[in-house]
């Protein structure tokens, strides 16, 4: 059993098979730095709980796939439900997946963000992510002219 401690002091006990899905933790374990509680200073408890939920499901589905042939469709459906999150949680999960080096989770979350902005105008994207337009009208006109291919 491996114990992780989030930045806000919450602790989580994981089976080693789940803990190695978090490559940052796996590397700490291999370097013999994981004798007791492993601190995860960049991730809050509620986000770490979501990360662990994802890893447990994917480890479980891999194990079940060998025994009961769980379908990829079932896992994709679970992933689709998993990513139905508010924007703040989505971005916190991206940061956690990046820090903990969980490629499959990072890919899933980044694809979710890409899908959010696909086909949107720059103005719509600014509105979605609450980004202030700091270009003057002249600067924006020049950028649009230089990158006209992107606006076609």
User: Is 60 within 8 Å of 39 (Cβ atoms)?
Assistant: no
Strand order in the sheet with 11-14: 11-14, 2-6, 37-40
pLDDT at 67 over 60: no
Give percent of the chain with pLDDT exceeding 70: 89
pLDDT at 9 over 80: yes
Q: Enter the pTM of the model.
A: 0.79
pLDDT confidence tier of residue 68, bands split at 50, 70 and 90: low
User: Is 25 within 8 Å of 38 (Cβ atoms)?
Assistant: yes
- Non-local (6+) Cβ contacts of 109 within 8 A are 83, 90, 93, 94, 97
User: pLDDT tens digit string along 14-60?
Assistant: 888 888 888 788 887 777 665 678 888 899 999 999 999 998 888 87
């Amino acid at each position: 059993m491996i114990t992780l401690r989030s930045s806000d002091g919450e602790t989580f006990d994981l089976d080693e098979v789940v803990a190695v899905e978090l490559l940052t933790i796996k590397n700490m374990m291999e370097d013999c730095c994981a004798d007791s509680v492993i601190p995860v200073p960049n991730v809050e408890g509620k986000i770490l709980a979501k990360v662990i939920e994802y890893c447990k499901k994917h480890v479980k589905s891999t194990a079940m796939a060998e025994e009961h042939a769980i379908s990829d469709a079932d896992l994709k459906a679970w992933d689709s439900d998993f990513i139905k999150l508010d924007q703040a949680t989505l971005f916190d999960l991206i940061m956690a997946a990046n820090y903990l080096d969980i490629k499959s989770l990072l890919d899933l979350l980044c694809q979710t963000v890409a899908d959010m902005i696909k086909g949107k105008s720059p103005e719509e994207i600014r509105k979605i992510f609450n980004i202030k337009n700091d270009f003057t009208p002249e600067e924006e006109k020049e950028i649009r002219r230089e990158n006209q291919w992107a606006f076609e």
